[in-house]
Structure 1
Amino acid sequence: MAGFWLRGSVYFASVKPAALAERNGFNIRRLASRRVNVNAATITRQSKSNLALAFISLGRERKRDITVFYAFCRVIDDIADSSELSVVEKRVRLAKWRQMLHATAGDDPLLARDVRHLIAKYSLPVAMLEEIIAGVEMDLSTLRYPTFEELRIYCYRVASAVGLVSIEIFGYRNPRCKQYAIELGLALQMTNIIRDVGKDVQNGRIYLPQEDLARFHYSETELTQRHYNEHFVQLMEFQARRARQFFDNAAAVLWAPCTAVCFDELSWTSFAFLKKNIG
């Protein structure tokens, strides 16, 4: 599943949930499927993420608050990606999280109470948090995207929406940061889709728009059978140009040299790095 996590001081958007995190018997995915009063710092620490470094430039208070938000994202993403829950159970638990964003109950998990505190403290739009939940829900039923416009909705929900919430916690001043978060989220999500195309196929998902496969005469069968050929390279170059455009859009709003450098590392070899997964 393409997920979403803050990265650096921009925001965390790494897609693809981390592997099952086990340390000292602590299992993040079991947290996702059970109502456990576990705090955000524990969830973040045990997720084996590099977020501790990403948030190092933040003050203590904002670091604590962004950790709560990360833990929220981590938990709902792991609910959707859990192998221990049925689709119905996943929908029920995600619906419960929607409910907990609005209402207070005596038996709510500690994390839910912390998230509601963030909503009040930063005047966070609950609708934006609900967009993130809607994004992970899409992975419960959507295995193909006929058009890019449909994929764009997914990318916005699982990446751009995360950025829009994050900048509120970071304490942005420039109103252009909102558009920057949207464009950068789309850019990072498309980059991760490019990176993980082989792994996604293994999981039965194809995020590459069906209209693009048709445009470059590369069939779904070729993709599932891992044929690395000229049509595949052309298809991926097209996706790269699309991602590059989003990076350029973001850079036009706020200068972002690092993102372009990171993206160049993915595309400079005509996506040969994907050959071991496709070919």
Structure 2
Amino acid sequence: MTQSVKTRPVHLKWLDAAGVEDPGLRDAYECCRRLHADYGRTYYLATLLLPPGKRPYVNSLYGFARYADEIVDNGDARTRADDLTEWSSRALAGLRAGTGEDPVCRALEHTMRVWDIPIDHVEAFLKSMHMDLTVTEYRTFEDLREYMYGSAAVIGLQMVPVLEPLDPEAYERAAALGDAFQLTNFVRDIAEDLRRGRLYLPLEDLEAFGVTRERVAAGSIDRRFVDLLKFEIERIRRIYAFAEPGIEMLAPSSRDCIRTAFLLYGGILDEIERAEYRVLDRRVAVGITRRLRVAVPAYRRARRLWHGANRFPHEGN
């Protein structure tokens, strides 16, 4: 990844609004923004509802996570364990010392310093990424939650300072929302994950419904599989319901962003039901019409709240 990038004028304005002046740091944030735009379409769309000065910080959080995920999922199978270990060690050392040269690490270090985000969250995330190299299934939901703490919950926890919580309870709700987002992905992406050798539905759930991993891998969608997905979706919706009150615990200028993500990710569950649970032979997605129907009114509301919303509690550059 190179730091020599060309940034569009609109994105330069985001960096200006965020108070990011150093040319190398601006390039680092642009690298993260491109990762975010290329790989996280729904999340990126929701981020556009934040005040412009906050968007680079969210880009950096996503960019770092995605970069690590790419090593795990798409790196050379012969070397990815060593590659992840080497990169993780270098990233953590750079984050602790504030001297990282890797663009995604440099942007993340700056974001963590501006918003006082604990490095413990990054350590937990990287621990879960290492689990993906060796753990291919989870016996219980509690086992899965241990993995999701680092892969999903801490992403929500990292976001909260940038979103400016009005109530400490916002952290617990944000962690739950991170779990709900990832569980939604797990149900949608069963076939894709199996091709990578992983299954994120708890084995105890499969056994309860008489489903085997082998039959799922073979693409068998029968009544038992449908009942299993109904069970998983009901649990995910309960987690969404717990997380939803946390949206009102954030600064007004942050709420439309998170509510849009909440509605669009939750909409994936609706689409799975509409597709009659056929997630093994297709990738179910929320259509562009529904995305726009949710995002456009939210964008109009959000714009009215942007003026004066950028506050940076720590040193910017």
TM range (shorter): 0.7 to 0.9
Q: Which of the residues 46, 53, 58 maps onto 2:50?
A: 58
TM-score (norm 2): 0.68
Residue in structure 1 matched with residue 121 of structure 2 by the alignment: 128
Report the number of matched residues. Answer: 242
Q: Which of the residues 83, 86, 102 maps onto 2:80?
A: 86
Which of the pair has more CA radius of gyration?
2
Residue in structure 2 matched with residue 203 of structure 1 by the alignment: 196
What do the CA deviations read for 1:98-152 (whole angstroms, capped 9, x no partner)? 22221244x7334323322222221111101211212222111110111110111
Structure of greater relative contact order (alpha carbons < 8 Å, 6+ residues apart): 2
Deviation larger for 246-255 or 173-182 = 246-255
What do the CA deviations read for 1:162-206 (whole angstroms, capped 9, x no partner)? 111112112222323212211111111111111011111122111
TM-score (norm 1): 0.77
1:274 aligns with 2:279: yes
**Distance in 1 between residues matched to 2:131 and 2:81, nearest whole Å:** 11
AA paired with 2:38? K
**Distance in 1 between residues matched to 2:101 and 2:52, nearest whole Å:** 26
Residue in structure 1 matched with residue 38 of structure 2 by the alignment: 48
Residue in structure 2 matched with residue 223 of structure 1 by the alignment: 216
Residue in structure 1 matched with residue 69 of structure 2 by the alignment: 77
AA paired with 2:75? S
Residue in structure 2 matched with residue 96 of structure 1 by the alignment: 90
Deviation at 1:154, TM superposition (A): 1.8
Q: Cα distance 1:268–1:71, how it changes in 2: closer, same or farther (>3 A)? A: same
Instruction: List gaps (5 residues or longer) in structure 2.
Output: 6-23, 249-258, 284-317
**Distance in 1 between residues matched to 2:201 and 2:268, nearest whole Å:** 21
Deviation at 1:252, TM superposition (A): 4.7
Instruction: List gaps (5 residues or longer) in structure 1.
Output: 1-23, 25-35
**Distance in 2 between residues matched to 1:108 and 1:89, nearest whole Å:** 17
Residue in structure 1 matched with residue 271 of structure 2 by the alignment: 265
**Distance in 2 between residues matched to 1:152 and 1:172, nearest whole Å:** 24
> In the alignment, is the contact (CA less than 8 A) between 1:237 and 1:270 conserved in 2?
no
**Distance in 2 between residues matched to 1:201 and 1:44, nearest whole Å:** 29
> In the alignment, is the contact (CA less than 8 A) between 1:216 and 1:231 conserved in 2?
yes
Runs of 4+ more than 4 Å apart = 252-257, 259-262
State the identity %. 24
AA paired with 1:61? G
RMSD: 2.7
What do the CA deviations read for 1:178-237 (whole angstroms, capped 9, x no partner)? 122111111111111110111111221111111111111111221222221111111111
SS in 1 for 2:281: helix
Deviation larger for 111-120 or 150-159 = 111-120
Deviation at 1:52, TM superposition (A): 5.0
**Distance in 2 between residues matched to 1:199 and 1:101, nearest whole Å:** 32
1:182 aligns with 2:188: no
Q: Cα distance 1:188–1:86, how it changes in 2: closer, same or farther (>3 A)? A: closer
